[in-house]
Amino acid sequence: MKNYKTHDYEGLIAETIQFNSANGDSINAYFAKPLHKGKFPCVVLIHHLPGWDELYKEFTRKFAHHGYIAICPDLYFREGNGSPDDVAAEVRSKGGVSDEQVIEDISGAVDYISKLDISDGKIGLFGTCSGGRHAFLLGCSTDKFDAIVECWGGNVIMDESSTNEKQPVSPSSLTANFSGSLLGIFGNEDTSPNPKQVNEHERLLKAENKDFVFHRYDGAGHGFNYYDRPIYRQEQSVDSWVKIFDFLDNKLRS
């Protein structure tokens, strides 16, 4: 993980942009890039179920601060305009967004970001909560990502009774198709995914001989790096960010 020294130059630009989903829809994204000269690896962020909120925009800037071109699409763009928590409540009442639509939106973001002249061609993916599940699902659906960070993705392990029209397949059933490298971050006090589900996720990845590493944290539950919520756990969060950037730097800069 790059640690800036006091005399280093730092600079980034961050703004809302529009890009085309793979299905042709024009949607919003938050975009950030370093202002240094040169080419940079890219990271696509998949926001959590609570929405395209200030937390995720800060995460996006955090990746740019660490030398990545970063883009975070608003997966709820089609649902209407309002405060992020109100829009997320509307999405939640409709059972979330469909896996198919998320795959199309993230694929469109990859096309957008990879064609930038400052892109070096390496692409990572980061997601938490529902975004963690989506990140693993994307890894099973495309070989575009060199490195994927899945943080507390619940419903990666789904039984048939919990699949539905929007989530028709358990991502775990697609494990054989996973490509790239995976970093999994989990809290041992989480209930979705709970430790038993994380163990099963790990077992399936091992059985398919996939390139992955999981880190599990005691004293932490779901969403433990959400500093704006009571579930925040400072020590575990700080350590997980070090692991996330070490992983991405290793996979995307070598």
Partner 1 sequence: MCTMIAERASIQGSGKTENAWISIDSCDIYYDHPDHVDSEHAITLSFSNQLDPINSRISLEITPESAKEIIRKIKAALSKGDSLER
Cross-strand partners of 181: 147, 211
Tell the smallest beta-carbon distance from residue 178 to partner 1 (Å). Answer: 18
C-alpha distances in Å from residue 155, one per residue of 158, 168, 209, 236 = 5, 12, 22, 23
DSSP 8-state code for residue 97: -
- Compute the distance between CA of residue 109 and CA of residue 66 in angstroms, rounded to an integer: 20
CB 151 within 8 A of CB 128: yes
Distance CA 43, CA 235 (A): 24
DSSP lists the bridge partners of residue 17 as 29
The contact set with partner 1 (CB under 8 A) reads: 48-50, 79-82, 85-87, 89-90, 92-93, 95-96, 129-130, 132-133, 152-155, 189, 191-193, 221-223, 229-231
Nearer to partner 1, 26 or 162 (CB): 162
Which of residues 4 and 227 has its CB atom nearest to partner 1 in the complex? 227
Closest approach, Cβ 154 to partner 1, in A, equals: 3
CB of 86 to partner 1, least distance (A): 5
Residue nearer to partner 1 on the CB measure, 95 or 121 = 95
Task: Provide, rounded to whole angstroms, the least separation between the CB of residue 16 and partner 1.
Answer: 18
* Residue number with CB closer to partner 1 (23 or 162): 162
